[in-house]
Amino acid sequence: MQKAILIVCLLMMSTGSVLAADSPYAGLETRQIKALSPQQVDDLRAGRGMGLALAAELNDYPGPRHVLDLSDRLGLSEEQRTNISNLFNNMSQQAKILGGRILETERHLDSLFAGKQANDESLRAYTAEIGRLNGELRYVHLRYHLAVRAALSEAQIARYGALRGYGRRGTGAGGAHGGHGGHGGQGMHK
């Protein structure tokens, strides 16, 4: 008898697992913006990078937030610290504005579907705008990696990579300091 009960319980549990596997979106219908997790919403509001600048970060173009976090260990001068702090503040402000616009546009798209008002024209317009805004947000984050690289010495860049745990693989895609890094900082600080 106990064996039969155990078998029935196991069958019920496995059926529940199968049903849950067939419904990976179950529970997401309660999200305020269905397409975004709470973490994504928080990151967009706060102007966080969300991995948008990994092409820069992992190719020897340090990010302003992380450089500031490591400023003592990188031996930043007071001028560098001030410059990079200004860069970070500018980046953060721009990213928060764009994040807010993305959230607003995602809300509108979600409400079109919720109100059964979505059509091909509105879908094209909102998805194009969301794509444009996401591209602009990524540009903002990448742009400031260029500016930070221009503000650091090659030794500081190498030290940054080591402190962040990135294996040295040569000069990375960024190449020498005079590449893109020499242009990115123009007009973005102060």
Mind listing the pLDDT tens digit for each residue in 125-183?
999 999 999 999 999 999 999 999 999 999 999 999 999 999 765 444 444 333 333 33
Question: Residue 92: pLDDT band by 50, 70, 90 thresholds?
Answer: very high
Q: What pLDDT score does 12 carry?
A: 54
What tokens does 60 get?
């020897």
The identity of residue 64, as a single letter, is P
Q: Is the pLDDT of residue 2 over 90?
A: no
Contact (CB, 8 A) for 148 and 61: yes
Compute the C-alpha angle 133/136/141, nearest 5°: 130
Q: Is the pLDDT of residue 3 over 80?
A: no
From the number of C-beta atoms within 10 Å of its C-beta (0-12, 13-18, 19+), residue 148 rates as: buried
Q: What pLDDT score does 49 carry?
A: 94
Question: Which of the two residues, 178 and 52, has the higher pLDDT score?
Answer: 52
Whole-angstrom CA distances from 86 to 2, 12, 17, 80 are 70, 59, 51, 10
Question: Residue 81: pLDDT band by 50, 70, 90 thresholds?
Answer: very high
Nearest to 59 by CA among 145, 135, 182: 145
Nearest to 62 by CA among 43, 76, 45, 41: 76
Q: What pLDDT score does 9 carry?
A: 52
Q: What pLDDT score does 30 carry?
A: 87
**Mean pLDDT taken over the chain:** 85
